[in-house]
Amino acid sequence: MPSGNKYKIVIVDDHPVVRQGLKLIIEDEDDLIVCGETGSANDGIKMIGDIKPDLALVDLRLEGSASGLDLVKSIRQRFPAVLSLVISMHDDLLYAERAIAAGARGYVMKSEAESNIISAIRDVLAGKLYLRKEASLNIVSKVLHKSNESINSSIDNLSDREFEILQLLGNGFGTQKIAKKLNLSVNTIETHRRNIKKKLDLKDSDELMQFAIRWYIDSQK
């Protein structure tokens, strides 16, 4: 039940303007209140531990080395009573699938947030799963047709960190820039790159870059 007749919400997004916009939309509702906001996963998990909100609204890309998926997993493990709703700029079923697999109860596109965020929040608070129709059908289809044999694509087999690095490669980031952005060592990024090549059956760095760019472009369509 909400505290003080209002559901408490925490926003974790690395863009202050986005946080402010979401806060204005959310607090226009009589029974919803934003009780905390931050741009990093580390600060987010501490804030959630202190505030114990009903719902955390989480962006996939955050400040620091931990991603939104990392935060969603931490919330599920440490504060299972707190619901997570992911908001992202990525219009890609793979991101929605990973968010749900990590423990999120919904996935909302930022471009649609102004019109859909309240509906998404209310569905999640009501115990429902919120997804765009296309994402919902895709995930349900995978569950219904799952067998003992692996049906995951090569990209599905990537870890969350590898998936994030593949996206950054496709977006034009080099190894050093990725290391700086994720607050990891260059050697660690190189290790992830080798693992990605192996899992995607790519023979060298050129093939990796070509694959990453094509995949990133396709994911933005």
CATH of the domain at 193: 1.10.10.10
For 4, counting Cβ atoms within 10 Å of its Cβ (0-12 exposed, 13-18 middle, 19+ buried), the class is exposed
Per-residue pLDDT averaged across 121-137, rounded?
79
Establish if 148 belongs to a structural domain. no
Residue 99 and residue 194 in one domain: no
CATH code of residue 98: 3.40.50.2300
Q: Which residue has the higher pLDDT, 3 or 44?
A: 44
Asked whether residue 149 carries a pLDDT value surpassing 50, the answer given is: no
Split into its structural domains, the chain has a count of 2
Question: Which of 142, 170, 185 lies at the terminal end of a domain, its last residue?
Answer: 142
Residue 45 and residue 126 in one domain: yes
Establish if 1 belongs to a structural domain. no
Residue 138 and residue 160 in one domain: no
Residue 121 and residue 24 in one domain: yes
Residue 64 and residue 126 in one domain: yes
* pLDDT (0 to 100) of residue 139: 52
Name the residue range of residue 189's domain: 155-219
Question: Which of 117, 142, 167 lies at the terminal end of a domain, its last residue?
Answer: 142
Residue 37 and residue 122 in one domain: yes
Establish if 149 belongs to a structural domain. no
Q: Which two tokens stand for residue 48?
A: 């959630």
- Confidence band (pLDDT; 50, 70, 90) for 189? very high
**CB atoms closer than 10 angstroms to residue 26:** 19
3-state secondary structure of 37: strand
Summary mean pLDDT of the chain: 84
Per-residue pLDDT averaged across 39-44, rounded?
94
**CB atoms closer than 10 angstroms to residue 88:** 21
Establish if 162 belongs to a structural domain. yes
Residue 163 and residue 92 in one domain: no
Establish if 173 belongs to a structural domain. yes
What DSSP state is assigned to residue 1?
-
